[in-house]
Structure 1
Amino acid sequence: MTVLPDLLQPDLEIVFCGTAPGTVSARRGAYYAGPGNAFWPTLFEVGLTPMRIVPDEYPTITQFGLGLTDLAKHVYGADSVLTATDFGRDELRAKILHYRPRILAFTSKRAGQEFLGSSVSYGLQEEKIGSTMLFVLTSPSGLARRHWNVQPWRDLAMLQCSTKGG
């Protein structure tokens, strides 16, 4: 059984992919629900949503061309407790090929590294899934606060804006 349902539909602008839901998110049944998580405020701050959305309203983001999934769909908790067998790389690849978002944005370096099988830098990656661009963001988790930098999120918003309709 999945911890949180995917929020996917054809031709979204950006699908955000975390490693796995955190404990608070799993308990509340809502993406990025931890009290220190910067995900929802950052989407608004960088202009990807026209208003600040709260975690319980997560299903509404498809109206802004955004979707949600996780690399590990059947477990939850901090990245430090996840193992290589928790990640569904092939499943994620199949979903992205099916739904064809313009950008798949990993919401942590760990998610990007686990999916691509190599170390990654923040920002746009050379690899693609079909025509979908891959992008790695700093983790919005409160547990990763010391590594937080909003600039990759701004860069994603600029990329999304510059390639929209193209």
Structure 2
Amino acid sequence: MPSPVNRHAPARVRFTRDELLAAADRLLPDVIAPGLDVLLCGINPGLWSAASGHHFARPGNRFWPALHRSGFTPRQLRPDEQHLLPGWGLGITNLAARATARADELTREELTAGGTLLRAKVAEYAPRWLAVLGVTAFRVAFGTQAAKVGPQDSDALLPTRLWILPNPSGLNAHYQLPALAAEFARLREAAGR
């Protein structure tokens, strides 16, 4: 069984290669609570995130800057401040629990199983909006090719509304930070925040 991470470990600036490789066996707990305004769903934890115990922790990931620039948070949070998100009606989960160096290392089966688990999590916690960060992973997990960035016409998660955001990884060259923040802002406005 994978070992859990220490949620309260201080943020680390650097990890050795061995520490990162060992992180592939760790689980990263959700930041979640009932009735959130927006539950943000990443594809899966990166090795840096698993090693640190904090979502979107790899230097160069644009999640935290985009979240702030879009107006979701009053200041740019550090990954080790993720516990503050529910106070702003926000949470974080992932489609797949397995930490990898790159999201494309996940199998189709892992993403499909993750979609099933995500539906159950949404039913249990009932966020107003679910925002999946990565259109390609969403298409695989939910078995649809029709999805595109933005709001989705889907009743699969009712009463939770569905929005697809671009993947904030630094590897996603299609969206630079200003465009990424603008997409996050569109969701914030739709969510009435």
TM-score (norm 2): 0.79
- Of 113, 117, 129 in structure 1, the residue corresponding to residue 139 of structure 2 is 113
- Of 185, 190, 193 in structure 2, the residue corresponding to residue 154 of structure 1 is 185
1:116-155 to structure 2, matched below 5 A, reads 116-119=142-145, 120-128=147-155, 129-148=157-176, 149-150=179-180, 151-155=182-186
Greater Rg by CA: 2
Quote how far apart the aligned CAs of 1:115 are. 2.7
- Per-residue deviation, residues 86-114 of structure 1 (Å, max 9, x unmatched): 22221110110111001000111123212
Q: Percent identity?
A: 35
Q: What secondary structure does 1:27 align onto? A: helix
Q: For this pair of structures, how many residues does the alignment match? A: 162
1:6-155 to structure 2, matched below 5 A, reads 6-87=30-111, 88-119=114-145, 120-128=147-155, 129-148=157-176, 149-150=179-180, 151-155=182-186
> In the aligned structure 1, how far is the partner of 2:74 from the partner of 2:175?
26
Task: Kindly indicate whether the alpha-carbon contact (under 8 Å) linking 1:14 and 1:67 is maintained by their aligned counterparts in 2.
Answer: yes
Q: Where does structure 2 lack aligned partners over 5 or more consecutive residues?
A: 3-25
- Per-residue deviation, residues 45-97 of structure 1 (Å, max 9, x unmatched): 11111111000111111100000100001343312211112222211101101
Higher relative contact order at CA 8 Å, sep ≥6: structure 1 or structure 2?
1
1:110 maps to amino acid:
T
Q: What secondary structure does 1:68 align onto? A: strand
1:8 maps to amino acid:
I
Task: Kindly indicate whether the alpha-carbon contact (under 8 Å) linking 2:44 and 2:103 is maintained by their aligned counterparts in 1.
Answer: yes
Q: Where does structure 1 lack aligned partners over 5 or more consecutive residues?
A: none
> In the aligned structure 2, how far is the partner of 1:56 from the partner of 1:145?
25
> In the aligned structure 1, how far is the partner of 2:34 from the partner of 2:189?
22
Task: Kindly indicate whether the alpha-carbon contact (under 8 Å) linking 1:11 and 1:100 is maintained by their aligned counterparts in 2.
Answer: yes
